[in-house]
Amino acid sequence: MDDEKLKSMAKQRAEFKQHLMVYVVVMCGLTAINAMTSRVYWWVVWPALGWGIGIALHGLTVYGRLGDSLEEREYQRLKRRHGEDPSKSHDERR
């Protein structure tokens, strides 16, 4: 794996961790507001669930199977569309 790819992965992982920390802080704040204003209806579950889905997808993209496989499939599709041999590595074509 080349240095550029590793830097990109490190940046994506750092951005995900920052996103996760913001989520935790905001959800703690919203939970506190919810507890102080209404103990009957816990509306905080709705933003937590909605944003949580986004966090999960972000995590899967960065750490899981979604990121590289989608990127690689799109790369291969574009190479086929433009008539280049997708089996050659990027460095071999330079």
Rounded CA-CA distance 19/58 in Å is: 9
Q: Is residue 54 part of a domain?
A: yes
Rounded CA-CA distance 20/15 in Å is: 9
Task: Please give the residue range of the domain that contains residue 48.
Answer: 15-81
Rounded CA-CA distance 82/76 in Å is: 10
Q: Give the total number of structural domains in the chain.
A: 1
Largest Cα–Cα distance of the chain, in whole Å? 64
Q: Is residue 7 part of a domain?
A: no
Q: Along the 94 residues of the chain, how does pLDDT read in single tens digits?
A: 678 888 988 999 999 999 999 999 999 999 999 999 998 999 999 999 999 999 999 999 898 876 666 777 777 888 888 887 656 655 555 4
